[in-house]
Amino acid sequence: MVQIKGSAIKETIDQIKFRAGEEAFQKILGLLDEETRTICQKEVFSSSWYPLDVFTRFLEVEIRVLADGKEEMVTRGSEAVIERQLRGIYKAFVKLGSPEFVIKRIAAVHATYFQGVPIEVQLRGHAKAVVRYTGFEKQHRIMGFAIMGFFKKALEISGAKDVVLCFTVPIEEGKAFSELSISWS
């Protein structure tokens, strides 16, 4: 079973409460299946592991309720998260790193957030890379929007221009792996 670190769930819940309020969070809880609602309404521990299925179901309902079903808002949300995480000394560290370094670093960080999802980076010539995620299942497709947001914003912070991201093997295809193609100038 693929799992996600509780910090991702906790930060998402905290952001919903901050941006939209407790009432919006309660509305989301009311639309969730019993397993997801039970986990999300209790205290979520940052260092614990939770089923990724729970998080993806939560995200899908959040997007329906707060973003009129516009899944690209998950990308914007993850861009905001990475920007917050890369403030101060970390931001300077990313700015000094090459885009290739940033891609490897983001992939390494993702590996600490997912259990059961090996991640492999292949640099392909000048200003191109492929990131392969093994283990995601069809129902995890919404994670693709979050992953693209993380890479896009981190690359932009590092000085990369014209960043283009595309899942050449999308998560929703349910294959043994998914692949994110990245290019920049």
What DSSP string runs through 119-132? EEEEE-STTEEEEE
- pLDDT < 70 regions, the chain: 87-96
pLDDT of res. 88: 60
Cα–Cα distance measured from residue 44 to residue 6, given in angstroms and rounded to the nearest whole number: 6
Q: Out of 3.60.20.10, 3.40.50.970, 3.90.1520.10, 3.40.630.30, which CATH number does the structure's domain 85-183 have?
A: 3.90.1520.10
pLDDT of res. 166: 97
Please report the beta strands in the chain, taking only residues with DSSP state E, as ranges in sequence order.
3-5, 49-51, 114-115, 119-123, 128-134, 164-169, 177-183
Query: Is residue 1 classed exposed, middle or buried when 0-12, 13-18 and 19+ CB atoms within 10 A define those classes?
Result: exposed
| Residue-wise pLDDT tens digits, 119-128 | 999 999 889 9
pLDDT of res. 66: 95
pLDDT of res. 143: 96
Cα–Cα distance measured from residue 38 to residue 34, given in angstroms and rounded to the nearest whole number: 6
| C-beta of residue 71 within 8 angstroms of C-beta of residue 63 | yes
| Residue-wise pLDDT tens digits, 166-175 | 999 999 999 9
Domain ranges of the chain: 3-70, 85-183
pLDDT of res. 38: 97
